[in-house]
Structure 1
Amino acid sequence: MHIDLRETELRLKRTWTISRGAADSKRNLFVRLEEDGITGEGEAACQAAFGESPESVRAALERTAGRLHGCDPAQVDGLDIGGAARAALEMALLDWNAKRAGAPLGIFLGVPPPAAPVVTSYSLGIDRPGVMAAKVAEARPFGVLKVKLGAPGGGDRAIVDAIRAVTDVPLRIDANGGWQSVDEAARMIDWLAEEHRGVQFIEQPLPMGRLEETARLKARSALPLVADEDVRVAADLPALADCYHGINIKLMKAGGVREARTLAGAARSAGMHIMIGCMIESSLGIAAALHLASLADWIDLDGHLLLANDPYTGIGGEDGRLVPPTAPGIGVQPATPQ
């Protein structure tokens, strides 16, 4: 089996700002393997919140890619690597196997195909109130917006007011752990819960790992709380039942499609809401997650739509509706010939 690694700088259409910082581009790693004339492709988007960097993900891929023997996806389970690197290798192996079977990835894994089209939210990064109106105008085709809060200096209310001045579409709020206390979070949630603000839920209100405080917040929250940084794999779920009403599943956190599917099943059994989300990823990584869309209550798969130079194509989304791939494997194509 031949394996190639490449790093691509994905340029963002706008500066991407969340509570932890800002970026104009992201460096993602891509895996391409070939065996018996069939190729498989995968993507790694590093997660700074979990100590990953493009350098560490590349090192993990270089250290472990040569240890693969054949194309069984299960062999990644024994590799001591982080979520993004594991996700990329497994994605490439699953893509290869599904292509060999002549089936779309979801069908290959036994996941019911999602109804087409799949409606996704569109994410708005933190910015000055005056800029938010322009961002909302750009997102006019989308029927629901995900709004990043946790702005330094307490500017969250001004951001929401600016959005509400120009649109009445439902909002999903993601603080990325930017609210530092239960009282601060509770005050914001009470304000956001007022009916005219049209907020559906709050994602990761407090910093990662503060579960006791999050449980106290849940007890007094007027809106559902959804875990992001606090949940990665199915083993995390039991500790979250008293803290959150739902979870955000991402392939990069889970370490791949198979663990994400397992996590979705565990969450459903626990009576929790499920969102399928993403990092800043190309259409390749987004498409892999899209194959799990039928398992979710909410979809936030817009990472490729934030890019100025998406290296893959095939799932749409510019009108707020994603097209589930039907070709064998993950089902996307390079934007330019490789």
Structure 2
Amino acid sequence: MRKMSVRVEKWPLHEPFVISRMEPMLHGEVVVVEIEQDGYVGRGECERMDIFEPDYPYDVLATVQSAVAAVEAGISREELRELLPSAAPRNAIDCALFELDAKLNQQPAWQMAGFADEPQPVTTVFTLSLDSAENMAKAAAAQKHRPILKLKLGRNGDLERVRAVREAAPNTRLVIDANTGWSFAQLVDYLPALAELGVEMVEQPLSFEEEHLLETITPALPITADESCIDRSSLAALKGRYQAVNIKLDKTGGMTEALALLKDAQEMGFEVMVGCMIGTSLAMAPALLLAQQARWVDIDGPLLLSEDRSPALNYRQSDVEPTQGVWG
């Protein structure tokens, strides 16, 4: 017989986290699900996104709690995809069921996911919050030892921000996330300069209303769909607009759909990025499995926190190493 428990946790941040389309985040807030069956426990975590994004379409905690009866009645991960939409609430439950299934089957999660080899360390980006050019340059100088930085942009003066960061961190790889904050005209204007500054990739520069215009250009560097890539149903509309997709468990609604999205995206010729929301190692560990297949990895959530849960993934600067007992 199954038993499902749900709790909310708050995790302090080192400093406020700022992106173009949201108010500054002062702490991380997550929903943790634990499902017990036959002496085994599966765990999952999602960000409580509706706390930080006023237009988020779901009450994350209430949606998770609405599924308790179905989970305790024995619902499968495949049936869960019919019960709940691709979103954060389903992620916490799906990851808990995924780990539980792995334990009940007496196999590691990476094997159950269909991977041939156990996960190896990966290099994650380190994210710099949106700020003035001067402050972002200071932040970049403090992190210039890291191999790759991700810059949150999406407001006027972004080229000045990138130039300032590049001067402060001349040898660091750079990727950019504009979080839908640019117009098409700005994107076309910025791309050649960004390429000259050594930027590798631009993530979700345009709003949903303008992204169809991406079909009219051949960009100087890859453009990655983030907000526009939810699950497999997103892919057909992204073809011809984006060169890469960002797979996030809080968007796909868990590992089950994320694995299917990964397979279909690769077959369609997309480059893959694996990303995250603000969260602890419990949220990053499933993403670490997906990250084995990714060109860009953004699972730096715990690096932005003042503390992580225990046990935790082993973060050696920007290298993320699997750790026994975290998940899976």
Query: 2:95·2:286 contact (CA, 8 Å) conserved in 1?
Result: yes
Paired residues for 1:74-89 under 5 Å: 74-89=78-93
Give 2:30's aligned residue: 28
Paired residues for 1:249-328 under 5 Å: 249-325=247-323
CA change 1:304–1:66 in 2 (3 A) is same
CA separation in 2, counterparts of 1:323 and 1:258?
Answer: 22
Query: 2:18·2:25 contact (CA, 8 Å) conserved in 1?
Result: yes
Query: 1:28·1:46 contact (CA, 8 Å) conserved in 2?
Result: yes
Query: 1:201·1:226 contact (CA, 8 Å) conserved in 2?
Result: yes
Give 1:112's aligned residue: 116
Give 1:102's aligned residue: 106
Q: 1:65 aligns with which of 64, 68, 88?
A: 68
Give 2:150's aligned residue: 146
Give 2:193's aligned residue: 191
Query: 2:184·2:210 contact (CA, 8 Å) conserved in 1?
Result: no
Query: 2:113·2:259 contact (CA, 8 Å) conserved in 1?
Result: no
CA separation in 1, counterparts of 2:209 and 2:269?
Answer: 22
1:268 match: secondary structure: helix
Query: 1:252·1:279 contact (CA, 8 Å) conserved in 2?
Result: yes
Query: 1:250·1:277 contact (CA, 8 Å) conserved in 2?
Result: yes
Structure 1 counterpart of 2:261, one-letter code: L
TM-aligned CA deviation for residue 112 of structure 1: 3.3
CA separation in 1, counterparts of 2:201 and 2:105?
Answer: 40
1:103 match: secondary structure: coil
Give 2:184's aligned residue: 182
Give 2:203's aligned residue: 203
Paired residues for 1:157-168 under 5 Å: 157-168=159-170
Unpaired runs of 5+ residues, structure 2, are none
TM-aligned CA deviation for residue 310 of structure 1: 2.1
Structure 2 counterpart of 1:63, one-letter code: S
Out of 18-27 and 246-255, give the one that drifted further.
Answer: 18-27
Out of 317-326 and 14-23, give the one that drifted further.
Answer: 317-326
Query: 1:129·1:159 contact (CA, 8 Å) conserved in 2?
Result: yes
1:12 match: secondary structure: strand
Matched, 1:11 2:12: yes
CA change 1:317–1:209 in 2 (3 A) is farther
Matched, 1:245 2:247: no
Query: 1:113·1:291 contact (CA, 8 Å) conserved in 2?
Result: no
CA separation in 2, counterparts of 1:94 and 1:150?
Answer: 36
Query: 1:287·1:315 contact (CA, 8 Å) conserved in 2?
Result: yes
Structure 2 counterpart of 1:42, one-letter code: G
Q: 1:228 aligns with which of 217, 226, 232?
A: 226
Unpaired runs of 5+ residues, structure 1, are 332-338
CA change 1:38–1:255 in 2 (3 A) is same
CA separation in 2, counterparts of 1:50 and 1:190?
Answer: 35
Give 1:334's aligned residue: none
Structure 1 counterpart of 2:289, one-letter code: H
Superposed CA deviations along residues 11-50 of structure 1, whole A, max 9, x for unmatched, are 2111111111221113211111211111111111144569
Superposed CA deviations along residues 136-169 of structure 1, whole A, max 9, x for unmatched, are 2443442011111112xx1212221221122121
Structure 2 counterpart of 1:330, one-letter code: W
Out of 93-102 and 6-15, give the one that drifted further.
Answer: 93-102
CA separation in 2, counterparts of 1:11 and 1:31?
Answer: 20
Aligned residues between the structures:
322
Structure 2 counterpart of 1:147, one-letter code: L
Structure 2 counterpart of 1:91, one-letter code: C
Query: 1:114·1:324 contact (CA, 8 Å) conserved in 2?
Result: no
Percent of counterpart pairs with the same letter?
Answer: 33
Give 2:213's aligned residue: 213
CA separation in 2, counterparts of 1:314 and 1:26?
Answer: 16
CA change 1:258–1:224 in 2 (3 A) is same
Superposed CA deviations along residues 208-263 of structure 1, whole A, max 9, x for unmatched, are 353322323xx142111110001111111011111000100001101111111111
Structure 1 counterpart of 2:176, one-letter code: I
1:317 match: secondary structure: strand
Query: 2:224·2:242 contact (CA, 8 Å) conserved in 1?
Result: yes
CA change 1:210–1:24 in 2 (3 A) is same
Query: 1:60·1:81 contact (CA, 8 Å) conserved in 2?
Result: no
CA separation in 1, counterparts of 2:122 and 2:96?
Answer: 24
CA separation in 2, counterparts of 1:114 and 1:145?
Answer: 27
CA separation in 1, counterparts of 2:286 and 2:209?
Answer: 28
Query: 1:71·1:96 contact (CA, 8 Å) conserved in 2?
Result: no
CA separation in 2, counterparts of 1:5 and 1:28?
Answer: 10
